[in-house]
Structure 1
Amino acid sequence: MYKSNLKFIILILLQSCQLWFSRISTAICTISMAAGMGNLYRLPQTTLIRGGLPFLIVYVVLAIFVGLPLLFLELGIGQLAQEGFIKSWRAVPFFRGIGYIKLAAGCMLSVYYPLYMGLALYYIIWILKEPLPFQECSTGVKITEVYKRINHYRFKCPGKKTGLSINYL
């Protein structure tokens, strides 16, 4: 009786496994797993610091010719082995430690990614305040000190002319 119930439970679990519906859903899920949050928040800043368009061209070329083959290699090994990422790399003795490296990297990412999510939530709440904290000058602060500390904000201060031509040109 016990074995038949166990077989029935396993059969139900196997039937309830979700399958990919189309190639598009597979591609979208793969891209969403490969393009993490780190790439989304760092790419604009890195592109600006590293030289703009030439860096972006090299980045895209390397992502296509190096990143995609490695991504498909990992997907192929995972589908072939039908195991987790630690056991699937044991097939080739030279690559045996890659699964453990991926596990350690995932643990490190899970430590600092919530920090960025918390900062994003903090700034969203901060922006909803009225008036914006950086929009007006308080009476006891010298504007030159404020510009020295935070030089990328534009303040609306009484007696000071502001406008597009003064602030940005």
Structure 2
Amino acid sequence: MEQQLDRPTWSRQIEFTLAGIGCAVGLGNVWRFPYLCYRSGGGAFLVPYLLMLVVLGVPLLYMELTVGVGIASVAISFIMCIYYNVVITWALYYLFSSFQAPLPWQNCNNTWNTANCTNHATNSSYSSTASQEFFK
């Protein structure tokens, strides 16, 4: 019979809980939750949300943690890293684009603009600005 090696464990339960929350909560949840809360009724939305989180979310998270051991967790982590790298790349692209003069979305002479695009300096109708056209 082979001797079993001691596996590392969490020293406190709060460490495990925070690590699980860190893996389960992504950028999409942080960005989109305030919008969904506002759209779905504000504070009244939080009561059923928290109830379903406790009744369904936590047990499903523990089920996933008990099953997802080994190479599958490495594969999922790799796929998630690809997704988050794309999101961070777009954020950095827009950050560095905002340092250009003039701003790429300031004028209506770009390929993404439609006929509804107007320039605030020359048109007072304000139907659709160049920035609105860029971020559609």
The interval holding the TM-score normalised by the smaller chain is: 0.5 to 0.7
Deviations along 1:116-156, one digit per CA (max 9) or x if unpaired, are: 322322344456x499x69xxx78432432xx325xx9xxx
61, 69, 93: which one aligns with 2:51: 61
1:37 aligns with 2:8: no
RMSD: 3.9
CA gap of 1:116–1:19, structure 2 versus 1, over 3 A, is: same
Q: Which moved more, 1:54-63 or 1:64-73?
A: 54-63
- Whole-Å separation in 2 of the counterparts to 1:71 and 1:120: 29
Q: What letter matches 1:26 in structure 2?
A: F
Q: Which moved more, 1:111-120 or 1:44-53?
A: 111-120
Q: Please give the secondary structure, in 1, of the residue aligned with 2:125.
A: helix
Which 5+ residue runs of structure 2 have no aligned equivalent? 106-118
Matches within 5 A, 1:28-107: 28-78=18-68, 83-85=70-72, 107=79
- Whole-Å separation in 2 of the counterparts to 1:111 and 1:144: 43
Larger radius of gyration: 1
CA gap of 1:56–1:115, structure 2 versus 1, over 3 A, is: farther
- Whole-Å separation in 2 of the counterparts to 1:139 and 1:39: 35
1:118 aligns with 2:118: no
Identity %: 26
The count of corresponding residues between Structure 1 and Structure 2 is 112
Match of 2:16 in 1: 26
Match of 2:123 in 1: 142
- Whole-Å separation in 2 of the counterparts to 1:56 and 1:141: 46
Which 5+ residue runs of structure 1 have no aligned equivalent? 1-13, 87-101, 154-169
- Whole-Å separation in 1 of the counterparts to 2:44 and 2:62: 26
- Whole-Å separation in 2 of the counterparts to 1:58 and 1:36: 21
Structure with higher RCO (Cα < 8 A, 6+ apart): 2
By percentage of residues, which structure has more helix? Answer: 1
Q: TM-score with structure 1 length normalisation? A: 0.47
Q: TM-score with structure 2 length normalisation? A: 0.56
